[in-house]
Structures are given as structure tokens and as C-alpha cells.
Amino acid sequence: MGRLPFVAALVILLAAALTGSALAADIVTVPTANQLSAGQLDLAYYYIGLDFPAGAPQHVNVQTLYYGLTEQLEVDLHRYEVDKGSTDTIVNATWKFMDERRDSVDAVVGVRDAFESIAKRSYHLSAAKTLNPPVGGPPTGPICRLHLSVGTEDNTLLGDERHEGLFGGVQILLKPLYPQVGLVALHDGQDLITALTFTRSAKWPTLKGGTFGDHWWIGANYTWNLGLR
């Protein structure tokens, strides 16, 4: 395969897995201030279809694991298998230093590819704010959560501009009319990412799918509370 299609495949696979429900966890592995609570474990599998010419990679299989070590510290493991390419695993971590309240936001500082050399790691500061959280009763309209991050150059993306500088987007949970459905629109610094999520109930996995630039993806995840808090 040619170098450019292979590089493009790596860029996509390192930023294309949606984890968590409509208002939880990372968005397509793009750093956010969404974070699991202590003792929560989230596992996910995703299939990314790549819109490349014949001979280039046509898909990527992705597995992710997120675990809340404490209320402040979360560690993540991402494994990527590229069609006609290699398999790569990276470790990320985030530290939550501010909780969202009426006059504050959720805020975290994080590192991607934490076990690599300092030159290959990337860092980010992320904040999130829910504009209309339910107060004292069921929601009266869709729940909207805004995200804004600033990051350093992500060397796992081969010098690409993803997650560098400012990036962010919005999540929407369609309560009260369609409480099982969520929408995502996010720009990662280079491409627009969209998603539609569906969760039948808390006892069921979340099904999801969407677009990533010219590419597409589908997947599912489930979060367990291991009772370690």
C-alpha cells in the first residue's frame, strides 16, 4: 500500500471510537472532561469503515477500556488493529481537578500515550458544561452539554493537527421525548465527527454509529459499576 493511504488510516484509527453514553466518557477518543466515577469500568468495540482506494486499508477494529481509579483519576487503554497494517496499543490518563456546579465546569488535565517518551506524549486541558441539567424533577427539554479543549501536538497521529490547539463540540440527549437517543457533533481540530447513540436502558449496552470526515463507524459499549467506591 502507498504511504499516504497508510498514514491516513493511522490518523483515522487513532481518533475514531465513540465510548460512553450520550453524556459520558470520551467522544470518539477525542479528549473531553467527561470522566467515569471511581470503580466504573467501560468496555467497547468499534468497526471503522475507511473510504480509501482499493489496496489501502479498508477498515479498523478498535477496542477500548476506561476505568475510574478514583473520583479524580481515570486510566484508558486503546487497542487498534488496522486492515493490512499493524496493531497498536496506547495508554491515556486524565486527572479531574474541578467539578461542575452552577457557577463552574467539569475540568480535567490529561496525557495521551502516557508510557511513551516525553517527546511523543501529548497533553490537553478539557472543560465541559451542561447547559440545562434537570433540577428537582424530570427534564423539560433536551439536555445539552458543551465541550472545549486545548491540546499540544498529538505525535501518535504522525504530526497531524488533531487535538492540537482548540477543539470541541456538543452532545445532546433527546429527553424527555426520546430519552434513549443521543446526538453528537464534534470537531477534533481537523474533521467533523457525528454520531447517533441508542441506549434501551441502563442494563443494556449503548449502540452507536456515525461519520468521521469521509469515513463511517459503528460500535457498542457497556459500563459496569464494580462497587469499589
pLDDT of residue 6: 43
d(CA 214, CA 99): 36
The lowest-confidence range among 49-58, 156-165, 176-185, 203-212 is 156-165
Residue 84 Rama label (left phi>0; alpha psi -120 to 50; beta):
left
The answer to whether 11 and 157 have CB atoms below 8 angstroms apart is yes
The mean pLDDT value for 184-193 works out to 85
Query: What grid cell was written down for 86?
Result: 499493524
pLDDT of residue 20: 43
* 228: confidence class by pLDDT, cuts 50, 70, 90: low
| pLDDT at residue 97 tops 70 | yes
pLDDT tens for 38-83 read 999 999 998 989 888 988 889 989 898 999 999 999 999 988 888 8
| pLDDT at residue 4 tops 60 | no
Structural domains counted in the chain = 1
| pLDDT at residue 117 tops 70 | yes
| pLDDT at residue 147 tops 70 | yes
Q: Tell me the residue range of the domain where 159 lies.
A: 3-225
Arithmetic mean of pLDDT over the chain: 82
Q: Provide the CATH number for the domain around residue 171.
A: 2.40.160.40
Place of cell 434537570: 134
* 145: confidence class by pLDDT, cuts 50, 70, 90: very high
Phi, psi of 43 (to 5 degrees): -120, 145
Query: What grid cell was written down for 182?
Result: 443521543
| pLDDT at residue 98 tops 80 | yes
Query: What grid cell was written down for 151?
Result: 491540546
* 29: confidence class by pLDDT, cuts 50, 70, 90: low
Give CA 120 to chain center in angstroms: 20
d(CA 67, CA 96): 14
